[in-house]
Structure 1
Amino acid sequence: MFKTLFRKDPALEAGRALYAAAVEQARTPALYDRLGAPDTVEGRFEMVALHVWLVMRRLKGDEGAKKVSQCLFDAMFQNMDDSLRELGVGDLQVGKKIRKLAENFYGRIGAYEAAMKDDAPEGALAEALSRNICEKQMAETAPQFADYVRRADAHLQNQPAARIVGGIVVFPPVE
């Protein structure tokens, strides 16, 4: 009886592990040095959001992965909530800021998904990345950034869903 009370939720553990992997990849120096992502709080959020989206995109359509994908999303926004509180944002403002971050995240997902479609115009992904990540500052490196995102997407698509649902994901090198 007590074993069921203290048993860990595998989906929750997997979501947290996937989030940790996405954050680790988002901290790769080459994203900032070579590809032009701004090394700011906003730029770091964009990199985390991008990598979380890539994992969620891989899990999309797999019925067994829905809960893990939701746990990944929850882990991301719980971390954002915790970070805002650590920065001294008041309790009344945290909810508003998290809501705004979630809206931004869903906006990015819509733009990136549309740009990744087979019938999307050439350069659509580079344009979406440049617009969302750092506006015009990244215009020169946006095509290389788009190549990285496409490589990362293909790399994730080639990984078994069962492995990712288990909390193990491997991103390709940025270079």
Structure 2
Amino acid sequence: MLFPRLARAVSQISKLRSFSSNASPFFSRCGYATVAQADDAPSQNDFPSKSPVNLDKLFWSKPCSLALPKDSPLRVDEPDYQGVRRFILKMLLFYSKQSTSIRGANVIYKRIISQVDTPAIYDVFNLEKTFKITYSLLVLHMWLVLRRLKQEGKEGVDLGQYVYEIYNHNVEVRVSKAGVNLLLLTWMKELERIFFGNVVAYDEALLPDAKPNDLQIKLWRNVFSDDGTTTPDETDLKAAKAMARYVRREVGSLSLTDKESIFSGNFSFTPLENKASVT
């Protein structure tokens, strides 16, 4: 299981293929797909009718480590205090395993947010920046990281719990900013259900006996589709296929990234900024 405290929640929804295949009546009433656009999101008319990149050519390269080089300006290294200051901080448990893990979890989550909030990811995959789509991308990248952390056994699962708690707080803030002040607890419970439903669906799509297009279908339903059942047109199908390749590449790349870089958050998802100009 991913998280000790939420093990029962996972088992309860383990039969779900994806949240979209069991559409929530709550979200259909409250307009989950269009509850609000992000503060800096353009209107629907500002989005192109098709992706500005040649999706068929993207994400075919082999996976590689996502660890940041030692001289990268994006690195966040542990402060190395000395003398009296270090002694005092040690007394205050600043260097305890829990404190170090929490700092690492914060950096990890910032990496996730950086990828999810970059305009390039919406441009490349021809996505509108609505609450629903942003949340779906957030869940997807959370799954990628938690899957990698789980590979490190209990230590990774424990760190994943800290990342999940930071994520949960961030989602609550995002929901509030989207204008949902009433029934906030109900929304959070439903978003939690969606989160674990997606986690199970993506895990199943990567099983050895899964069909080759299973991941593509899950991504279409969870990210691209408004109702989880609409058959994609040719443009959307290309985007879903490209995202499936992107996800598989990130899974492989994260697996090749060393434990220290993962635990400290000193890694970066494949940059998409340079893809926006590809034709």
Q: Provide the TM-score with structure 1 as the length reference.
A: 0.89
Task: State yes or no: 1:114 paired with 2:204.
Answer: yes
Moved more, 95-104 or 123-132: 95-104
Gaps of 5+ in 1: none
Task: State yes or no: 1:141 paired with 2:239.
Answer: yes
Q: Aligned equivalents of 1:19 and 1:152: distance in 2?
A: 16
Instruction: Provide the residue aligned with 1:7 in structure 2.
Output: 94
Task: State yes or no: 1:103 paired with 2:201.
Answer: no
Instruction: Provide the residue aligned with 2:7 in structure 1.
Output: none
Aligned pairs, number: 174
Moved more, 3-12 or 115-124: 3-12
Instruction: Provide the residue aligned with 2:160 in structure 1.
Output: 69
Between the aligned residues of both structures, percent identity stands at 26
Which letter does structure 2 place at the counterpart of 1:11? S
For the aligned residue pairs, the C-alpha RMSD in angstroms reads 2.1
- What's the secondary structure of 2:252's corresponding residue? helix
Q: What's the offset of the Cα at 1:163?
A: 1.9
Which letter does structure 2 place at the counterpart of 1:78? H
Equivalent residues in 2 for 1:122-161, closer than 5 Å = 122-135=212-225, 136=232, 138-161=236-259
Q: Provide the TM-score with structure 2 as the length reference.
A: 0.57
Q: What's the offset of the Cα at 1:144?
A: 0.7
Contact 2:250 2:270 in 1 (8 A): yes
1:119-167 CA deviation, whole Å, 9 max, x = no partner? 2101110100001112137333111110000111111110012221122
- What's the secondary structure of 1:172's corresponding residue? coil
Contact 1:108 1:132 in 2 (8 A): yes
Which of 1 and 2 has higher RCO (CA within 8 Å, sep 6+)? 2
- What's the secondary structure of 2:160's corresponding residue? helix
Structure 1 or 2, whichever has the larger Rg, is: 2
Contact 1:156 1:170 in 2 (8 A): no
- What's the secondary structure of 1:140's corresponding residue? helix
Moved more, 30-39 or 125-134: 30-39
Moved more, 73-82 or 131-140: 131-140
Instruction: Provide the residue aligned with 2:134 in structure 1.
Output: 44
